[in-house]
Amino acid sequence: MIKRTLEVSRYLLILPVIGSLLLTVAVVVMGLGLTMVRGWELLSNPSFSEGTAKVLSVSVIQAIDLFLVGALGYITAVGLYKLFISQKEEQLLKRIKIDKLADLENKIIGVVVAALAVGYLGQAVEAKDPQEVLYTGAGTALVIGALCLFIKFSGMGESES
């Protein structure tokens, strides 16, 4: 009875899959909206000044950051689905190889590292004080370093098992 309950209860994880997909759609639509609004502003008021270039650069970085977060939501949804719900490999999901929880963690961490790097670039462009750029970079580097250590040490434990 417990085994059957556990087998059926895995379908509860369809809720986070759907939630991740909805968040992915929302974030991607927001990124597209930001891109279209900034593009329209640039086309309707063409200015080739340093200030306009800075605003455009920050907008591009913000849009890329949103798209990376959208990719993270999609990878999470596919990973949860493949790990807990799917009984067979489906053609649509073969592009993302996730056979165990560590695979999902590594993919998510990879996207988080990319999003952190893009976020840092956005803050560096907007920063007024060089010391602020240094502190932000150091904090970002510490988080990325911690994530890299997590991947290294969690991978070591699996290969020994």
Instruction: Kindly list the domain boundaries of the chain, sorted by start residue.
Output: 2-160
pLDDT digits (tens, 9 = 90+) for 118-131: 888 888 877 888 89
Question: Across the chain, what does the average pLDDT equal?
Answer: 83
3-state secondary structure at position 7: helix
pLDDT digits (tens, 9 = 90+) for 46-70: 888 887 787 788 888 888 989 999 9
pLDDT-wise least confident of 11-20, 33-42, 101-110: 101-110
For residue 92, the model assigns a pLDDT of 47
Rounded to two decimals, the pTM is 0.67
Where is mean pLDDT largest: 5-14, 38-47, 104-113, 143-152? 143-152
Residue 70 CB partners (closer than 8 Å, separation 6+): 24, 27, 28, 31
